[in-house]
Chains A and B, each alone.
Chain A
Amino acid sequence: MSHSYKLSYLKQLEAESIYIMREAVAQFEKPVLLFSGGKDSIVLAHLARKAFWPAKFPFPMLHVDTGHNFEETIRFRDYLVNKIGARLIVRTVQDSIDQGLAQEEKGPNPSRNGLQTVTLLSAIEEFKFDAAFGGARRDEEKARAKERFFSHRDEFSQWDPKNQRPELWHLYNGRKNPGEHFRVFPLSNWTELDIWQYISLEELELPEIYFSHQREIVNRDGVLLAKSEFITLLKDEQYIEKTVRFRTVGDMSCTGAVESPASTLDEVIAEVAAARVTERAARADDQRSEAAMEDRKKQGYF
């Protein structure tokens, strides 16, 4: 042999994710890609393009819009959808609230994070989606570490972590009864650093809030929340301007910024590689209790 047959770890992860996406399209009738505008779903959309090239990927993208978005994310979402010629469906938490399906939280920063589940499940029902691709990764959170690539949801969309199908080799069992659906997580084996390395390798574009910028923030229990109409300042709180970037992109009401001078991909990668706290440490939604993620996931969260 003149050379060794060796794939780098990023190419191995890519090949695995492509395999999962093709497998889901072959096994399900109506898949959808959950798109938040965050880096993981941007990588997911890129992998979907690769998996089905030269055809367009044969499913729409769904954005569950809480109304609490960073405007940069929405702008980027529309730009990307247009660029790759995908079909985008948007369903809003506000509509779910107006229809009486969900109720707004009370308090100084009411989060619509949990309410997304209601809107997501309505959309799955409305379009009869039987598989939803998500960008969740196992390294993000301890309940997610136990998640399958093909994750079964019962007719109430519930996840039963104690009764998951074993996943052997790369044989994925997507068989289901009417009314049930699957969540499919092609990025399960990727870490935050892998995502960034891959973004750099593939030269993917990202919303600018991932890079260092000046922003007014308020420090609430250690979480640096960006100034927005969705946050009411408490007594003794005030906005201060800081040089920040975001490691994850979720709702403005619960996504914390990190102080950072990293304004290029290489700087971000260096920062992620040296990071001493997890990316979700800045997420107020995960700080609510030790099993916050597991509890939300059981109800049908992403």
Chain B
Amino acid sequence: MEIKEQKREADLLRFITCGSVDDGKSTLIGRLLYDTKTIFEDQLLNIEKTSLQRGEEYVNLALLTDGLRAEREQGITIDVAYRYFATPNRKFIMADTPGHIQYTRNMVTGASTANLAIVLIDARKGVIEQTCRHTFITSLLKIDHIILCINKMDLVGFSEEVFNKIKTDFQDFISRLDIADVSYIPVSALQGDNIVNRSENMPWYEGPTLLYTLENVHLGSDLNFIDARFPVQYVSRPQSTEYHDFRGYAGRVEGGVFKPGDEVMVLPSGFTSKINTIETFDGPLQEAYAPMSVTMTLTDEIDISRGDMIVKPNNQPQVSQDVDLMICWMHEKPLVKGRKYIIKHTTREAKCLVKEVRYKVNINTLHKIEDDLNIGLNDIARIAIRTTVPLFFDDYRRNSATGSLILIDEFTNETLAAGIIL
């Protein structure tokens, strides 16, 4: 299969793979890369050499993804690794994240930019706690598409009953969650069944292979083209004769569609104006939509700076200093109630006070924990904050760009938590 030819008009799918080493995740990724001819000969030669030197029986495909010395030495994946491959119609960015509970933060990081999640299950074990955790995070971060890969089918005699049982169990579990689209695929990553090529061992399975599914998932509905949101990133004032009076607002469209002539409102001032032009290096545009990076000019001179937001008067985001969040805590230092933290939300930076920890989530059972509100590394919790300046935001489910923020330590500058606005 000549798979590396790629069309310029191809689109882009970002996905995450969840599962632990035991599920055969590395093998699955290795298989996907190998069968799409993404692994190069020198990479293969390198890992063959290393596997041999370590006295391993098979070529260890995990060595491909474990990039850091510590990871290879300990045989674990510590950090999110990004992999790239392409088919003629689609380019793929895969975030490979470690599966254990102590790496929840890595999974949240990988999931924050993904449109799709592959959740891996060992056919011998079925739906376990870890599956529930991965699926919960997927749903929390509003990944609209899940592919449940039931792996190691070769070890259960390629049994249709086993596949159906796992499928039913999973459907029961996700009925409590809000997930738009799930596909179920029985695979053997080790032998390549249903990864890129159809399995001859499972004639009862009539669905598509993993790669076919990845190539054909419909992505059109994942972006918001309704609520016009343009956080101002940078004010462009060229100091040149030709553009002496040019005053442009550079940023990325985070929702909706903007056109020259549209009436717009600027937050927080509330002033209204009209879009004069939408400028790019390649010439002016007749419209701009997510995720384009453009520069807008308005017909009126208004004081606008970084952190302001251009919206439409008839469709405004919520504006408030009081915000309710689900957070994933990402640092060894626990959350301290009553302490001030720095927040970054769109292009806006402010401080906030954690007013209340409402509950913590047991991410394996989805139960609320209300008697222990200490929030530490990898905990997921619902909190209420008050910010020093108003934020302009939407419900995360409506717009993940205007519905997300991060908390930062004001002394060490480290990123402490990911926040999802409810």
Contacts and interface: CB of A to CB of B under 8 A. Distances in A.
Nearest to A180: B413
Contacts of A53: 279-281, 295
Interface residues of A, number: 67
A146 B79 contact: yes
Interface string B1-23: 00011101111100000000000
Interface string A245-264: 00000000000000000000
A10 B4 CA distance: 16
Contact of B306 (A26, A171, A275, A276): A26
Interface in A177-197: 177, 188-189, 191, 193-194, 197
Interface stretch (A95-103, A110-118, A162-170): A162-170
B408 interface: yes
A173 B418 CA distance: 12
Nearest to A163: B414
Contacts of A220: none
B108 A189 contact: no
B109 A166 contact: yes
Contacts of B405: 171
B240 A55 contact: yes
Contact of A290 (B50, B79, B279, B342): B50
Nearest to A167: B109
Contact of A166 (B86, B246, B280, B415): B415
A143 B225 contact: no
A201 interface: yes
Given A54-B246, A138-B84, A10 B293 contact: no
A12 interface: yes
Interface string A1-38: 10011111111111110110011011000000000000
Interface stretch (B40-48, B178-186, B261-269): B40-48
B40 A276 contact: yes
A5 B4 CA distance: 26
A145 interface: yes
Contact of A169 (B11, B65, B237, B404): B404
A82 interface: no
A191 B85 CA distance: 9
B40 A275 contact: yes
B80 interface: yes
Interface string B204-233: 000000000000000010010100000001
Contact of B281 (A10, A50, A176, A275): A50
A22 B40 contact: no
Interface string A25-69: 110000000000000000000000111111110000000000000
Contact of B250 (A22, A146, A276): A22
Contacts of B43: 278
Contact of B291 (A16, A276, A290): A16
Question: Residue among B5, B10, B68, B251 with the most chain A CB within 10 A?
Answer: B68
Contacts of A275: 40
Given A5-B225, A19-B252, A26-B234, A55 B239 contact: yes
A236 B209 CA distance: 53
A176 B86 CA distance: 37
Contacts of A274: 4
Nearest to B50: A290
A216 interface: no
A266 to B, nearest CB: 12
Contact of B414 (A55, A165, A276): A165
A191 to B, nearest CB: 5
B243 interface: yes
Interface string B113-151: 100000000000000000000000000000000000000
A291 interface: yes
A16 B237 CA distance: 22
B78 interface: yes
Contacts of B414: 165
A193 B371 CA distance: 54
B344 A173 contact: yes
Given A53-B280, A54-B240, A197-B6, A277 B83 contact: no
A123 interface: no
B163 interface: no
Contacts of A139: 83-84
Interface of A: 1, 4-16, 18-19, 22-23, 25-26, 49-56, 138-139, 141-146, 161-162, 164-171, 173, 175-177, 188-189, 191, 193-194, 197, 201, 273-278, 281, 290-291, 294
- The 6 A-B pairs of least Cβ separation, nearest first, read A142-B67, A55-B238, A175-B413, A9-B12, A18-B293, A50-B281
Given A8-B9, A162-B68, A188-B82, 8 more contacts: A23-B347, A54-B240, A54-B246, A56-B240, A171-B345, A171-B406, A277-B41, A291-B69
Interface of B: 4-6, 8-12, 40-43, 46, 50, 64-70, 72, 78-84, 86, 90-91, 93, 105-106, 108-109, 112-113, 220, 223, 225, 233-234, 236-240, 242-243, 246, 248, 250-252, 257, 279-282, 289-293, 295, 306, 330, 342, 344-345, 347, 400-401, 404-406, 408, 413-415, 418
